[in-house]
Structure 1
Amino acid sequence: MPEASPNIFCVQHSRPVIEQGARSVGTIGTVISNVQHDPTLIDFIASRGLSSLLLSANQVTLHHDVYPAVDPSQLISNQAFQGKRVIVTGASRGIGEDVAFTFARAGASIVLVARTESQVDAVESRILEHVQNAQVEVAVTRAVERFGGGDVLVAVAGTARGITPSRRRIHMIGGMPWKSIVVASSMLFGLTEKYALPHLEKSHGRIIAITSISSQLRVPFASDYCVSKHALTRFMEFVPIVANTEHPKVLAFPVHPGAILTELSKASGYPAELFNDTVGLASAYILHLAAGNADWLNGRYSSACWDITELERDWKEKALEKGALVNKLYLPQ
């Protein structure tokens, strides 16, 4: 079946800024950098790997590109998301752009939200960006008005800062730059629960939030990013608990997309060679989840890099029995 022309709807908003010292810095989707490499920090990250956390290569195969089990070709060919309404936040670049484009190729109607009209003009044929809590209600409301509701919410929007000398000082924690990262990422929480859940409930919808392996790491000088991603991952664990009583038909998936070389990661301060996963793998895995192929991962952390066939075969039963792939304190037995 040929690919249908996607139904794309754009919501635009102006870009907000805050003041940091004497210069203006975007609060969301913008990296505050002046990056300086730190060999000790690089060794710390490299020794742990960016894609293998929780399940290592000797426990499950790690992929760096699209592989047969999550290949989106069939879903695209069958137009599996025809009639489905998908909202993607943070979609004007990188992971979000590719995710939204993949859903569009599979037949979905896409809600695109951009920060400026110029961005709409630049990427309207693919996807735009939505990052501010104040615009969340607008996006969801207009999705309902235009398409009658929503079936999938993919939350990609995020922000980070480079590794700068000021970040080495523990007393800088809690300062405005630190708060801007944590608060900006945390906006997703209110977005999801207040605006999206009621509409997703009507369509047995799914929420897929792009978190990070950093949510499970304690990375020196990156507490803001790690804390914000940990909070996001933890919040997604609560959605099924709330859903049991208020929105029983909504599923939620916190996903590490892999170590992808995006504009955000380029400005992070880490060498490019650490980012060896393709954006296509992340998009394919997210499409796989949205299609209902791994609903047992509802409320559980997973990585796009983990072989999903092996994960289900070797770990599904154990994860469900032991309540694994969620954040908890652990003592070795």
Structure 2
Amino acid sequence: MSDLDVTARHDIYPAIDPEPHFSKKTYSGKVVLITGASKGIGESIATFYAKAGAKLVIAARTQTTLDGVQKAIGGSTEVLAVPTDVTDTKAVENLIKSTISKFGRLDIVVANAGKADPWDKPFTEKDPNEWWKTIEVNIRGVYNVAHYAIPHLEKTSGYFITISSGAAHMCIPFASAYCVSKHATLRLNEFIAQEHPTVKAINVHPGSIKTDTAMLNPAWVPYMIDTLQLPAGTLLALTSGKYDWFHNTFVSSNWDLAEVEAKYKDKITAGNFLVSKFSVPQ
């Protein structure tokens, strides 16, 4: 995805090189919570923050998969694993309470838990409960985490990162549940930014990556050319303080951030750019 006039990136590149964060432990003292952290993109993000010195809270639906991630991270940092279904309000409330009880603060939240389904037939031919489940995970799950986490992020002027998709801007036939739910998170991100302006709210496209979820639609495999390290490195950069002017926007991990800064920072900081809006061609 490269809708801005910048270089399309598919792996780690100089502006998001994580090595300085790893060597200097720039996230020491920070507490990072990641949902959907048991595999794929979430696991990669968790690993990068751990290497950068952050204390981690990892959440997914099953304890066994979380245990595997915790074991892979090793003893380099403190990790709290909390099995959580993000559509369960009480479970998310417990997740946040457990985080504060363990670490006393919250600095960064990455709402990564998501769901997709096969894009193979019209929504009228699909199980309506499965269609709605995708909507529920992708938007209610983000809302639940935001509802309970943001009061704590306000105390630290922290970051709320929603993992979105380029599909949020598309009408892909047979992918209505996924596209609608990802589009809805764009608007929710803007409400977070307006109602809680001290929290840096950013909606992030992670790239096109060959994950288990993505492989539900194998026809799209030729486009799955990005690495798991790309979104992880992008998030380390976005939550480092250097790119806080992306607050209240959509950002693609495929965009070269240094080039975006050089070409578009003034437009972004002026507002009404990289946000959802109704546009009438002149």
* Residue 163 (structure 2) pairs with residue 217 (structure 1): no
Match for residue 252 of structure 1?
A: 201
Q: 1:68 aligns with which of 8, 14, 23?
A: 14
* Residue 101 (structure 2) pairs with residue 145 (structure 1): yes
What amino acid is aligned across from residue 117 of structure 2 in structure 1?
R
TM-score when scaled to structure 2?
0.91
What amino acid is aligned across from residue 308 of structure 1 in structure 2?
L
Q: Aligned Cα RMSD in Å?
A: 1.8
Indicate the SS of the match to 1:330. coil
> 2:22 and 2:112 mapped to 1: Cα distance?
21
Match for residue 238 of structure 1?
A: 191
Q: 2:217 aligns with which of 263, 268, 280?
A: 268
* Residue 51 (structure 2) pairs with residue 105 (structure 1): yes
Question: Any gaps of 5 or more consecutive residues in structure 1?
Answer: 1-50
Contact 1:253 1:299 in 2 (8 A): yes
Indicate the SS of the match to 1:208. strand
Q: CA deviation at 1:294?
A: 0.8
| 1:75-94 mapped onto 2 (5 Å cutoff) | 75-94=21-40
Q: CA deviation at 1:190?
A: 3.0
Q: 2:86 aligns with which of 127, 132, 137?
A: 132
What amino acid is aligned across from residue 139 of structure 2 in structure 1?
S
Match for residue 314 of structure 1?
A: 263
Contact 1:91 1:130 in 2 (8 A): no
> 1:305 and 1:314 mapped to 2: Cα distance?
16
Match for residue 202 of structure 1?
A: 155
* Residue 116 (structure 2) pairs with residue 160 (structure 1): yes
TM-score when scaled to structure 1?
0.78
What does the per-residue CA deviation read over 1:215-270, in whole Å, with 9 as the maximum and x for residues that have no partner?
00010010100000001121111111001xxxx42111100011111111111243
Q: 2:62 aligns with which of 104, 112, 116?
A: 116
Q: 1:185 aligns with which of 138, 160, 179?
A: 138
Matched positions, count: 272
> 2:84 and 2:163 mapped to 1: Cα distance?
14
What does the per-residue CA deviation read over 1:112-141, in whole Å, with 9 as the maximum and x for residues that have no partner?
224333223332224766442322111111
Q: CA deviation at 1:208?
A: 0.8
Contact 1:131 1:157 in 2 (8 A): no
Q: CA deviation at 1:147?
A: 0.2
Match for residue 327 of structure 1?
A: 276
Indicate the SS of the match to 1:122. helix
> 2:265 and 2:47 mapped to 1: Cα distance?
30
Contact 2:111 2:142 in 1 (8 A): no
> 2:149 and 2:126 mapped to 1: Cα distance?
32
Indicate the SS of the match to 1:209. strand
> 2:220 and 2:143 mapped to 1: Cα distance?
34
Question: Any gaps of 5 or more consecutive residues in structure 2?
Answer: 74-80
Indicate the SS of the match to 1:310. helix
**Identical positions, percent:** 37
Q: 1:301 aligns with which of 247, 250, 265?
A: 250
> 1:252 and 1:87 mapped to 2: Cα distance?
15
Q: CA deviation at 1:309?
A: 1.0
What amino acid is aligned across from residue 181 of structure 1 in structure 2?
T
What does the per-residue CA deviation read over 1:127-184, in whole Å, with 9 as the maximum and x for residues that have no partner?
76644232211111111000002100011110101123xx23x534782121111112
Contact 1:130 1:157 in 2 (8 A): no
Match for residue 10 of structure 1?
A: none
Task: Tell me: CA distance 1:322–1:207, structure 2 relative to 1, closer, same or farther (3 Å).
Answer: closer
> 1:112 and 1:266 mapped to 2: Cα distance?
23
> 1:192 and 1:308 mapped to 2: Cα distance?
27
Q: CA deviation at 1:318?
A: 2.2
What does the per-residue CA deviation read over 1:53-81, in whole Å, with 9 as the maximum and x for residues that have no partner?
x32xxx11111110001101101111011
